[in-house]
Chains A and B, each alone.
Chain A
Amino acid sequence: MSYYDIDAILTDAEKVPCKFELDIPELGYLDNNPAQPLKSGTTVGLPLWLAELLALANRAPSSADEEAKSFVSLNLPPSLSNEVMSALKADPRAVPLRDQSHNFYGLGTRMLDLFEEKEICAILRRTFVTRAADIALHAGKAGATDDMGIGGGEEFLRGLEEWERKLFKKAHDGAKGSKEWMEGVKKHRR
């Protein structure tokens, strides 16, 4: 992942729900309540880069008997919630992942770094591999003829998130290259 990777930056900006563990004055506007301090226990969606730092950093205990605690506690974002996971378990192809998050797998890997969720990991992997086969099928067909397979595939292609779009482009470039050569070999040669 490069420093200038636009998808990595956008993944960093994805909101994840965080529960604040302490009262914070002057931050009430985050909860649409500017007059009041932000109460502990409030859940606010924070961008991933900030949430990660706040959740991993420990604040100094206010008294000797209190344990060191983090500022916020992280939760799984709605795109990785149980409902989405069970839908993906049932049929990976039926879920438009782009509606869940533009960087669904990117967000997934970042969350898996923070949480140890073996099941989500397995489901994501199965989803990716199953959808990849479909992506290759559509990529081979797209642009071949106007009437073939496009009508039914459009819905599926609209649901692709960024990783899958890149994969689609790669598969399509490969198919296009060999098709162009096949047509070219018949025409121009010596």
Chain B
Amino acid sequence: MALSLPSGLVPTEVAFLCEMEMITIVPRQRLESIPMLSGKTPALRPPRRADLPLWLALLLKKQRRANIVPPPWLLPASLQEIVHLETNYDPEAFSPPPPPPMRSDGRGVARPYATTTRSGNEDKELILAPPFLPSCTQDAPSGYLPYHWLEIAETLLAHAADDIPNAPEVRALLRDLQEVRAAKMRASTRHLEGGGGVLNIRGVGAMELAESRGFVLGVVDGVRKLGASAEAGRREELERGDDEDESDDDMGL
């Protein structure tokens, strides 16, 4: 315990990791493909959209060599829908994460969930697993918050606000969403009271996890310690019960 590093990722680390997410841009200048450790970037031809990692997209944006296309879930209509879902539909659960890109059709064949509408991209390979799902490109489904929603949204609002339609409204909606979900996170620990020890955090984003990891783990640990003696007693009883059952079986035989 000499090294008091927090368990898990801290917010700055999460923000760094989120820069690997792919995002769609509209280039303004030609740029040849760059070979990188993560693979080649697509060659940029001005009117044609391309997917780049967020860090590169931000760099090009800063140099005024590209415009960023905000992901569909970051548009005001989509955010309004999510806020509505969070507040009215289920006041306890978080809004669901984006659906997987493939689903089974019941006959053992996997079909793409939503067919891509973009033309000229048929040769692109379909990515099935996180963390490289195209959850923030223009193909992302609207109405669902991806894992890195808060970091992507904040970064885009800070550095590419002019590319986001109706940025002030988006900013206000994001604040609402953040507040609602933070309140849910705090309230969710109440479910631990019964001693189930299980917390449903489906749909919670990376930044939210980094923020409340210490607190939630602390509560879980505290409840576990408080219930340790009762748990030991219960187990003993269970074992005794098993023994009795066995002896009953023996009698029956």
A-side residues, CB < 8 A to B, are: 2, 105, 108-109, 112-113, 116, 118, 121, 124-126, 128-130, 132-133, 135-137, 139-140, 163, 166-167, 170-171, 173-175, 177-178, 180-182, 184-186, 189-190
Look across to chain A and name the residue whose beta carbon is closest to the beta carbon of B213. Answer: A174
**How many residues of B are in contact with the other chain, CB < 8 A?**
41
Q: Tell whether, in the assembled complex, residue B207 and residue A171 are in contact, meaning their CB atoms are under 8 Å apart.
A: no
CB <8 Å contact, B226 and A121: yes
Bound: A172/B121 CA distance, A: 46
Q: Which residue of B lies closest to A136 (CB)?
A: B186
Can you name 11 A-B pairs with beta carbons within 8 Å? A105-B222, A112-B230, A129-B190, A130-B193, A135-B215, A136-B215, A137-B186, A174-B212, A178-B207, A185-B15, A185-B154
Inter-subunit contact B223/A129 (CB<8 Å): yes
Q: What secondary structure prevails in chain B residues at the interface with A?
A: helix
Cβ of B6 < 8 Å from any Cβ of A? Answer: yes
Select which of B187, B215, B219, B229 is within 8 A of A174 by beta carbon.
B215
Residue of B nearest to A134 (CB): B186
User: CB within 8 A of A129: which of B6, B158, B193, B212?
Assistant: B193
Docked-complex contact A125 and B212, CB < 8 angstroms = no
B15, B58, B215, B226: which contacts A124 (Cβ < 8 A)? B226
Contact with A along B216-249 (1 / 0, CB 8 A): 0111001101111110010000000000000000
Q: Does B195 contact A (CB under 8 A)?
A: yes
Query: What secondary structure prevails in chain A residues at the interface with B?
Result: helix
Chain A hits for B226, CB < 8 A: 105, 108-109, 112, 121, 124-125, 128
B158→A181 contact, CB < 8 A: no
Q: Is the CB of A132 within 8 A of B222?
A: yes
How long is the Cα–Cα vector from A125 to B189 in the complex, in angstroms?
12
Q: Smallest CB-CB separation from A182: which chain B residue? A: B154
Chain B residues in the interface with A (C-beta under 8 A): 1, 6, 10-12, 15, 58-59, 62, 154-155, 158-159, 182, 185-187, 189-190, 192-193, 195, 207, 210-215, 217-219, 222-223, 225-230, 233
Shortest Cβ gap from B171 to chain A (Å) = 11
Residues in chain B near residue A126, CB distance under 8 A: 193
Please pick, from A108, A167, A177, A185, the residue contacting B218 in the complex, using a CB distance under 8 A: A167
CB B233 to nearest CB in A, in angstroms, measures 6
Bound CA span A148–B58, Å: 36
Query: Which residues of B have CB within 8 Å of A105?
Result: 222, 225-226
Which residue in chain B gives the minimum CB-CB distance to A164? B222
User: In the complex, which residues of chain B have a beta carbon less than 8 angstroms from the beta carbon of A124?
Assistant: 226
Q: A190 to B59, alpha carbons, bound, how many Å?
A: 8
Cα of A177 to Cα of B10 in the assembled complex, Å: 7
Residues in A with CB closer than 8 Å to B193 are 125-126, 129-130
- Chain B nearest CB from A96 CB (Å) reads 18
Name the residue on A nearest B16 (C-beta): A181
Q: What are the nearest 7 A-B pairs in CB distance?
A: A170-B214, A171-B215, A112-B229, A178-B211, A178-B11, A177-B11, A136-B186
A173 in contact with B6 given A2-B1, A128-B223, A166-B218 (CB within 8 Å): yes
Most A CB within 10 A of own CB, among B1, B155, B159, B225: B225
Complex Cα distance, B213 from A13, in Å, reads 32
Q: Is there an interface contact between B159 and A139, defined as CB atoms closer than 8 Å? A: no
